[in-house]
Structures are given as C-alpha cells and as structure tokens.
Chains A and B, each alone.
Chain A
Amino acid sequence: MGKKNFRSIFIGNKRGSRIYKETRIKDPDYISDIPVYTDVKPIGYRYGKEYRVIPEMIPDIIVPDLTDCPLKPYVSYRANVAVQEEFTAKTLFSFVYEEKIKKDFANQKLDASSLPLEPSDAESLSSETAYLEARKTGSDIFSERIPRHWECLELKSDK
C-alpha cells in the first residue's frame, strides 16, 4: 500500500448503522489497517464462527407517554426564569417541621423535656421502627459510602 500520512486522511465519523459499516468494509478504498471502531455495545458473544445474541443484553429504551405533556424541548422567551436559592437541609427542615414545632411552642404543647404532647406521625416514630425502616426498600444507607471520621472534619457549616 505504501507509506501514507494517516493523520491527514479524513476518515470521518466512525459512527453509523451496521449496514453502513459493512458496506464501508467492502468498499475498495477501505484501509484495513485502520479499523472501523464501533461505539455500539455488544448484544451477545462470539462462539466460534457464529455470534450468539443474548436478548437481555439488547438495550430496552423506555420512553414515557408524552401525549398532553405540557413540557416541550425549548423554553419560551416570555418566561421569567427566576433564580432559585439552593435547596439545603435547612430549607427542607423549614418546609417539613418548622411550622409544627413553632406552633407547639407557642401553644404550650411541649412538656418539660421539650417533647411534643400531640406528636405527629413522624414525631411518634420509635427507634425500633426507624431501625427497620432504614433496612427496608426506600432507604439510602446502603447506596452512599459512609465517610471516614477524618473526612468529617471538613464538614461545611450550614449558616
């Protein structure tokens, strides 16, 4: 074939359908030294000469039903896109619990040790139930890595 400056040869986009790649390989100008890389993930394995397809490996793209969906790909210029503040643990607390505890304190519904006299569902949770809930589906204690004690020294303080 001779010496060629492969860097200056414009191969082009290496993506394409399987049929396109096959026709390219059969093309007389195809340079066999530079392979046709595919970005497609395999859907099976080669066993000798044949290729065995595993149905579970074929990607299943799930698209929700978008009829009557008001959300579209673009945003109208008319919309006033406001900047929202950061959603911190403090904001979550004020949304979820702040009101109740303020009301209880104002109406003297807290006993001597500051425990509520009329507890809500979340307040009347016992330690055993909490222990079990943390091990059921829906808990996230197993997904996150527990930071080592030396990593907790640089915790950001919530102002």
Chain B
Amino acid sequence: MKITDSLSCILKRVGKLTKQYSNLPDSYIKRTAEQVEYTAPKMIQYLPYQRKRRTQDFRFTTNRPWTQEFKRENEGLPRSEVFIEPIKDWSIFRGDRVEILVGRDKGKHGIVSQIFEERNWVIVNGMNWYYRRIGESDDYPGTIIRQELPLLVTTEVSLVDPSDNKITKVVWRYTEDGEKVRVSSRTGRIIPVPAAANETYDYKVKSAYLEGDKDTKSDVVEKVTFQPELKTFDMDVMKSMGIEEDRTPKKSYWY
C-alpha cells in the first residue's frame, strides 16, 4: 500500500498496529482523517493544490483517526505538541501480561486490550480506571461506568516474564530457525507474542472468519482456473463465443 503524498500525510503518523487491527484500507484512513479545507478543481487551468490541516497539528487520542470523535478533537486551533518518544522495536502487544508501575494499581498485573502506537499508550483491562457518567440528562443522573486510562509503554508499564511473574526488559532476538522473538534480558527466556496480537476487528483467527454475502468464498479464490493456451486474446474470445472464421483472405502480391 503506497503512501502517495510525500511529506504532509497523516497516514504516516498512524501506527502499524492500529491499521492492522482495523483492517481498513490506507485510502480510507487517509480520506477520513485528513481535513481537507479546499482542493483545486481538476481542470487544466489549475495546478494541483490542497489546503488542509497540517499533519503536525493533529493530536492522536484514544479515538481512532478515522472516527468522528477524532475529528472533533482535532478541530479549530491546534493544541500544543505532545512529545512522543520514538520506539524502535515495539514490544507490547494485545493479550500481553504487563505489570503497572505507577498509580493506584501499582504492582498489579493485567492483560493489554488496546494499543495506541501513535502515543506510546496501552490500555490494560480493568486497570488504571476512573468513574465516569454516560447518558446524563436534565432528569436522569446517568449511568456510572469505569473507564480505563491509557498507560505509557516506556515508563508506566512493563512486560512480565512468564517464568517467574516478575517485570523484565525485553530485547528482540533471532532463533536458530530465523524467527524473531522477544527475549527477557533478565532470565533469557523467550516471551512468545500472544495469539490476540494477530486479532483484527473482523476476526480472531483468519480461519475463524465468518464469510459474508459479499465475500467470495476461499475455495473459489484459491481455485486455479487459468489454462494457458497458444491463443491470442482475440482467438480466446472467439473460442468462448463460438465465432468461427471460415473466410479466406485474398492473396496479395508485391511487385
């Protein structure tokens, strides 16, 4: 998938894991996340020109970039820039067991449920929550729910080594088979990437995907129906339509 705009494209800032989980095409994310104010008409008199919100003026939140909430949060005057530590090798995935290092739930273990790579955030299920009211109106006080707050991957959360259930730093190494794995730097044990990391919005496992009405079935797709024949395109069409050419062209001579 090509990111056609060279520099100013919000698509470059969207995290890989975000895109992987959503199963949405790049063109859709770009189209919905970008706030194009004006595009020059596609006529010969006009140079290609677009006036849109600058990529650096977008602040990523817990709302995904293609949502309406994200658009509302990124309207009007741009907010001050949030500095994000660039992480070379992202090591925490969905379904990982992590320990929380700060806050009320310090020392507790939890399972990662959401990843926000653009802000170096993870949401640990049931941890670091706060009470919130939803559906509040003039006569109804609203329902109180618990909402988890995101935690920073670099400082507030740490992976747990399954062998001794203690926190550890992790490095990426290659096995003898050439597989890239996470290795605990303290114990040297491989921490396997959980199965939930390959989950997407549409399926938990690819083989468990429920095919819809508009989906071509997998056996139809995998069937090889191409039969190579020594025929030109025209001949192939003639064969399938049953066109027979029985006229003989007249001989031409060169003098």
CB pair B38–A10 under 8 Å, yes or no, is: yes
Q: Within 8 Å CB of B228, what residues of A?
A: 87, 91-92, 95-96
Main SS at interface, chain B: loop
A11 to B228, CA, bound (A): 51
Annotate B207-222 by CB proximity to A: 1 below 8 A, 0 otherwise.
1010111111110111
Question: Which residues, 105 to 159 on A, are CB-close (under 8 Å) to B?
Answer: 122, 132, 135-140
Main SS at interface, chain A: loop
CB pair A132–B229 under 8 Å, yes or no, is: no
Could you tell me how many residues of chain B have their Cβ less than 8 Å away from some Cβ of chain A? 34
Contacts A92-B230, A96-B229, A138-B232 given; indicate if A76 touches B222 (C-beta within 8 A). no
A79 to B220, CA, bound (A): 9
Could you tell me how many residues of chain A have their Cβ less than 8 Å away from some Cβ of chain B? 33
Q: Within 8 Å CB of A87, what residues of B?
A: 228
Judge whether B248 is part of the interface by a CB distance below 8 angstroms.
yes
Write the chain B residue with the least CB distance to A73. B214
Contact for A137 among B213, B216, B234, CB less than 8 A: B234
Report B's interface with A, CB cutoff 8 A: 38, 40-41, 43, 202-203, 206-207, 209, 211-218, 220-222, 228-235, 238, 243, 245, 247-249
Report A's interface with B, CB cutoff 8 A: 7-8, 10-11, 14, 37, 70-82, 87, 91-92, 95-97, 122, 132, 135-140
